[in-house]
């Protein structure tokens, strides 16, 4: 099956169209092949080119580079993710490792944008875990204890304060963390594409269909041509399974999001002219909602088992309707035809929310599965997997490899049944927050 992105993502469509697209048009060979040109693959390519300036590096993508999940996410570069308290010291130390990895991810993105003078609407505004339900107070108070023991600056806020900050009275309480950055994901990944060094060849609209090892050569088959490579790094995230990578350890989930047009001055005034903000849900299936720098409202409120390869226009329209209701519930005074774009994107999940970072076989490497933290962790893992594949070691690799490894998943049809029932249960629990 072919990977087909919709062409309706608001972040991507507001960028200039690229013109210099090259596709695989003959058989090739190289020292390094990177599959997937999102944050992970592009960061791996950048790092490999630095380590091996004289080697031939090719990066391929089934679609246009950066136009998968990397260009269509919600733009939260996170320092923490919600964890509903801990019962043991071991759990706390695992959570600490996770946040240490997030920190390295933030540092990696920061370094990249500084080095290349990237404008991606970077805003160190912090983020809110917010809820309309007082029943979630316990969750936030437990989370607050965790953050306190790890010295993350944060505070719990009540309805009145939130109303002024967000321009909506929907939320009754929230935990604000000072850490966490809001950015434009499309601009960030486009910069990673634009600065690819000369010894990296980018081939787009070129989908890897099959690969096999033949002694020291890895033979990679595309539609009409093949690439022979000495080493390969898989960075296809939600599409790892379709290439037979870590089959029993990860699965794709489809998300959809919508973004409004910029609010008019009158509309913006009517909601109190709030500063840019970003809310993450307290319950896993609740909505992520952002007020962007240019006064647009972004909402993502679906997560489901769906074919990762393509979402039809009619399926997308149904999800968009859901997002219109989500915006209307929060901003009833705004017109209900202000959604300008809706799109879908694929993330990769593991059972225990741990990421994949490993040598899969001799000369075969893989990095992926970041759930909602791929902006930072994907950038970090891309760079570090390139270092690992070059037989070098860093303190970052040591930390990454000391985290919990992804746990085994049951085979189909049990896997899909299990995930679907869990998602239905979580959606029911979060019904007021969608």
Ligand X SMILES: Cc1cc2nc3c(=O)[nH]c(=O)nc-3n(C[C@H](O)[C@H](O)[C@H](O)COP(=O)(O)OP(=O)(O)OC[C@H]3O[C@@H](n4cnc5c(N)ncnc54)[C@H](O)[C@@H]3O)c2cc1C
Alpha-carbon distance of 387 to 381, in angstroms, equals 10
- Measured from the Cβ of residue 199, the count of other Cβ atoms closer than 10 Å reads 17
Q: Which of residues 368-407 bind ligand X (CB under 6 A)?
A: 368, 370, 372-375, 378
- Measured from the Cβ of residue 333, the count of other Cβ atoms closer than 10 Å reads 10
Total chain residues near ligand X (CB under 6 A):
41
Say whether residue 180 binds ligand X (CB under 6 A).
no
Contact 143, 175 (CB under 8 A): yes
Say whether residue 320 binds ligand X (CB under 6 A).
no
Say whether residue 311 binds ligand X (CB under 6 A).
no
C-beta of 292: minimal distance to ligand X in Å?
Answer: 12
Pick the closest to residue 182 from 321, 22, 298 (CA basis). Answer: 298
Say whether residue 271 binds ligand X (CB under 6 A).
no
Burial of 302 per CB tally in 10 Å (0-12, 13-18, 19+): buried
Looking at residue 1, the DSSP 8-state letter turns out to be: -
Among 251, 345, 387, 427, binds ligand X (CB under 6 A): 345
Beta strands in 36-166 (DSSP E): 57-60, 76-77, 127-131, 154-158
Nearer Cβ to ligand X (147/202):
202
Helix and strand tally (H, E) in the chain?
A: 11, 18
Phi and psi at 227, nearest 5°, equal: -120, 130
Alpha-carbon distance of 237 to 43, in angstroms, equals 14
Alpha-carbon distance of 334 to 336, in angstroms, equals 6
Say whether residue 123 binds ligand X (CB under 6 A).
no
Say whether residue 186 binds ligand X (CB under 6 A).
no
Q: Indicate the SS3 state at residue 32.
A: strand
Among 24, 33, 104, 208, binds ligand X (CB under 6 A): 208
Say whether residue 191 binds ligand X (CB under 6 A).
no
Among 11, 30, 40, 193, binds ligand X (CB under 6 A): 40
Say whether residue 59 binds ligand X (CB under 6 A).
no
Nearer Cβ to ligand X (125/270):
125
Nearer Cβ to ligand X (108/235):
235
Looking at residue 173, the DSSP 8-state letter turns out to be: E
Say whether residue 338 binds ligand X (CB under 6 A).
no
Nearer Cβ to ligand X (76/112):
76
Say whether residue 112 binds ligand X (CB under 6 A).
no
Among 49, 131, 132, 236, binds ligand X (CB under 6 A): 236
Nearer Cβ to ligand X (238/406):
238
Contact 296, 10 (CB under 8 A): yes
Nearer Cβ to ligand X (162/311):
311
CA distances from 233 to 45, 53, 99, 303, 360 (A): 10, 17, 25, 27, 9
What residue is closest to ligand X based on CB?
A: 374
Say whether residue 70 binds ligand X (CB under 6 A).
yes
Q: Which of residues 286-305 bind ligand X (CB under 6 A)?
A: 300
Say whether residue 127 binds ligand X (CB under 6 A).
no
C-beta of 415: minimal distance to ligand X in Å?
Answer: 20
C-beta of 39: minimal distance to ligand X in Å?
Answer: 4
Q: Determine the interface stretch with ligand X among 264-272, 330-338, 339-347, 406-414 (rule: CB under 6 A).
A: 339-347
C-beta of 88: minimal distance to ligand X in Å?
Answer: 27
Pick the closest to residue 304 from 412, 406, 426, 407 (CA basis). Answer: 426
Say whether residue 37 binds ligand X (CB under 6 A).
yes
Beta-strand pair 226-234/251-260? unpaired
Pick the closest to residue 423 from 289, 301, 250 (CA basis). Answer: 301
Among 28, 46, 47, 72, binds ligand X (CB under 6 A): 72
Q: Determine the interface stretch with ligand X among 116-124, 153-161, 343-351, 417-425 (rule: CB under 6 A).
A: 343-351
User: 173: which strand partners?
Assistant: 131, 158
Say whether residue 281 binds ligand X (CB under 6 A).
no
Dig out the tokens for 160 from the structure: 């009145």
Nearer Cβ to ligand X (235/338):
235
Beta strands in 261-378 (DSSP E): 277-281, 288-291, 297-304, 339-349, 356-361, 364-368
Interface contacts to ligand X, rule CB under 6 A: 3, 35-41, 60-63, 68-70, 72-76, 207-208, 235-239, 243, 255, 257, 300, 345-347, 368, 370, 372-375, 378
């Amino acid at each position: 099956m072919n990977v087909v992105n919709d062409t309706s993502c608001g972040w991507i469509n507001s960028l200039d169209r690229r013109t210099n697209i090259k596709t695989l048009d003959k058989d090739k060979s190289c020292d390094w092949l990177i599959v997937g040109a999102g944050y992970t693959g592009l960061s791996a390519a950048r790092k490999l080119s630095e380590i091996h300036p004289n080697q031939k590096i090719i990066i391929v993508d089934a679609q246009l580079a950066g136009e998968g999940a990397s260009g269509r996410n919600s733009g939260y570069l996170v320092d923490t993710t919600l964890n509903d308290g801990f019962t043991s010291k071991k759990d706390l130390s695992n959570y600490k490792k996770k946040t240490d990895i997030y920190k390295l991810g933030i540092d990696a993105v920061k370094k990249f944008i500084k080095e290349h003078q990237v404008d991606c609407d970077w805003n160190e505004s912090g983020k809110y875990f917010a809820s309309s339900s007082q029943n979630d107070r316990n969750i936030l108070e437990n989370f607050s204890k965790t953050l306190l023991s790890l010295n993350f600056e944060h505070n719990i806020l009540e309805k009145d304060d939130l109303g002024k900050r967000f321009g909506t009275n929907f939320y009754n309480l929230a935990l604000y963390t000072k850490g966490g950055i809001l950015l434009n994901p499309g601009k960030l990944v486009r910069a990673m594409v634009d600065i690819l060094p000369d010894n990296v060849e980018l081939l787009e609209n070129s989908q890897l269909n099959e690969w096999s090892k033949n002694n020291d050569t890895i033979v990679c088959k595309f539609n009409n041509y093949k690439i022979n490579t000495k080493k390969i790094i898989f960075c296809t995230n939600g599409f790892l399974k379709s290439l037979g990578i870590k089959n029993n350890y990860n699965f794709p989930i489809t998300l959809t999001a919508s973004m409004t047009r910029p609010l008019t001055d009158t509309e913006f005034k009517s909601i109190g002219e709030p500063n840019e903000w970003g809310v993450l849900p307290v319950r896993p299936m609740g909505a992520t909602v952002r007020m962007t720098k240019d006064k647009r409202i972004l909402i993502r409120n679906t997560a489901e088992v769906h074919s990762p390869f393509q979402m039809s226009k009619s399926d997308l329209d149904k999800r968009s309707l859901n997002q219109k209701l989500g915006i209307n519930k929060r901003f009833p005074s705004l017109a209900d035809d202000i959604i300008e774009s809706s799109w879908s994107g694929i993330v990769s999940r593991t059972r225990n929310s741990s990421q994949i970072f490993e040598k899969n076989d001799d000369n075969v490497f893989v990095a992926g599965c970041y759930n909602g933290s791929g902006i930072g962790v994907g950038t970090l893992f891309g760079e570090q997997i390139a270092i690992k594949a070059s037989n070098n070691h860093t303190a970052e690799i040591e930390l990454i490899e000391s985290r919990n490894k992804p746990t085994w998943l049951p085979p189909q049809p049990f896997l899909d049944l299990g995930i679907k029932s869990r998602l239905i249960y979580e959606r029911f629990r979060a019904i007021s927050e969608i």
